[in-house]
Amino acid sequence: MERSRWRPALAACLFAAAAGGCRKDDSTESVRASATGGSGTGETRLAAISAKPSQSPERKSEPSATPSTTETAAAPALVRADGKTLDEVEREIISKTKAVKTCRADVERKSEVVIGGQRRVTLGTGRYDYERRGDKVLYRIEEDVTIVLTTGMEGETATHARQTAVVVCDGDYLYTSREHSQRPSRASKNRAETEVLGFDLLRETHDLRLLPDETINGHDVYVIEAVLKSEIESPPMRSVNYYLKDRGMLLGYVVYGADGVEFDRRMYSNFQFDVEIPAERFVFHAPEGVEIQDLSQEPPAPTASNEGGAAPAPGGTEKP
């Protein structure tokens, strides 16, 4: 399965697991369609967006090596000192996330994919705003993305592109816009789903396992590994997902291919909780001269599956 197809579907599952935002049926089918080629204890900062691919962050945690992809499915559940099970941690994450009324954070992303002799590196930075109003989740992400595509063994040919991506969910509708340096700008409108589904959504397509706790950028986090089910992808890809212990929000994730090599990560930082966010932040304005494509009568896509990468959780990569 092509990595750029799988990543957005996982993104939707991860976000819904903690905060809701898509329907079970739509997210599950998105993962399945992607597979067949169809339509969130040591102290560090997880490899900053400017870090070289070879750099690895230093971590302290409970003594337990991260298993290889082939070992993950059969690995035993972690026996924690506090006795908490994966189900208990999941319920705690969901409960704490639902208690968050507002949140602001910075977001960084990096992905690197090699396909057919081409190497595509995507770097992005942006701002995330989040607000919960009853059962509705509102959010906005603005992200500036640089895409570098190189071809040839020595990378002798390089193509650079820039993109500004905006995603706004007003609780009823999901709006996206992308302004690309080498393509026409576009915008769309879809229905938003805010049903909180918990980790059951993620389990539809992934096997989950609780890993040792860590501390990242001063935040104590729960670590949950999600391995794509073998009937969808074999050997499977996997993600390692970090959730704030005190707030439940997704701190970030790292995705590894079947070869065990990291190819995608998204991290949130500089969290501000219980801050006032202007209502205007959740109002969408299309780029000047761009007509909004209305998809609201069609089945809603997962809210985090925006290929520009501007989503509340991990996102896809857009070709330059």
Report the C-alpha gap between 271 and 278 in whole angstroms: 17
- Transcribe the chain into DSSP letters: --HHHHHHHHHHHHHHHHH--S-HHHHHHHHHHHHTT-----------TTS-TT------BSS-PPPPHHHHTTPPPP--TT---HHHHHHHHHHHHHT--EEEEEEEEEEEEEETTEEEEEEEEEEEEEEEETTEEEEEEEEEEEEEEEESTT--EEEEEEEEEEEEE-SSEEEEEEEETTEEEEEEEEE------TTHHHHTTEEEEEEEEEEETTEEEEEEEEEE-TTTSSSPPEEEEEEETTT--EEEEEEE-TTS-EEEEEEEEEEEES----GGGGS--PPTTPPEEE-TTSPPPPTT--TTS-SSS-------
279's CB contacts (< 8 A; 6+ apart) are none
pTM of the model: 0.72
**6-29 tens-digit pLDDT:** 444 454 445 544 444 443 444 433
Q: How confident is the model at residue 269 (pLDDT cuts 50, 70, 90)?
A: very high
Please check whether residue 31 is in contact with residue 10, taking contact to mean a CB–CB distance below 8 angstroms.
Answer: yes
- Flag whether pLDDT at 239 surpasses 80: yes
Q: How confident is the model at residue 181 (pLDDT cuts 50, 70, 90)?
A: confident
Question: What's the confidence (pLDDT) of residue 141?
Answer: 94
166's CB contacts (< 8 A; 6+ apart) are 140, 141, 142, 143, 175, 176, 177, 178, 284, 310
Among 141-155, 260-274, 276-290, the least confident range: 141-155
**Ranges 54-68, 71-85, 91-105, 197-211, most confident:** 91-105
Among 143-152, 171-180, 231-240, 283-292, the least confident range: 231-240
Percentage of the residues of the chain whose pLDDT score is greater than 90: 45
- Flag whether pLDDT at 307 surpasses 90: no
Among 95-109, 144-158, 246-260, 269-283, the least confident range: 144-158
Please check whether residue 4 is in contact with residue 263, taking contact to mean a CB–CB distance below 8 angstroms.
Answer: no
Question: What's the confidence (pLDDT) of residue 32?
Answer: 35
Structure tokens at 294: 């209305």
Question: What's the chain's average pLDDT?
Answer: 73
Question: What's the confidence (pLDDT) of residue 76?
Answer: 53
- Flag whether pLDDT at 281 surpasses 90: yes
Q: How confident is the model at residue 319 (pLDDT cuts 50, 70, 90)?
A: very low
- Flag whether pLDDT at 66 surpasses 90: no
Percentage of the residues of the chain whose pLDDT score is greater than 70: 63
- Flag whether pLDDT at 277 surpasses 90: yes
Question: What's the confidence (pLDDT) of residue 151?
Answer: 82
Nearest alpha-carbon partner for 8 in 30, 24, 29: 30
- Flag whether pLDDT at 63 surpasses 60: no
Go through the domains of the chain in sequence order and give each one's CATH number: 3-294 (2.50.20.10)
Adjacent-strand bridge partners of 255: 239, 264
Question: What's the confidence (pLDDT) of residue 300?
Answer: 55
Q: How confident is the model at residue 229 (pLDDT cuts 50, 70, 90)?
A: confident
26's CB contacts (< 8 A; 6+ apart) are 193, 299, 300, 301, 302
Question: What's the confidence (pLDDT) of residue 218?
Answer: 93
- Flag whether pLDDT at 202 surpasses 90: no
Give the residue-averaged pLDDT of 182-208: 80
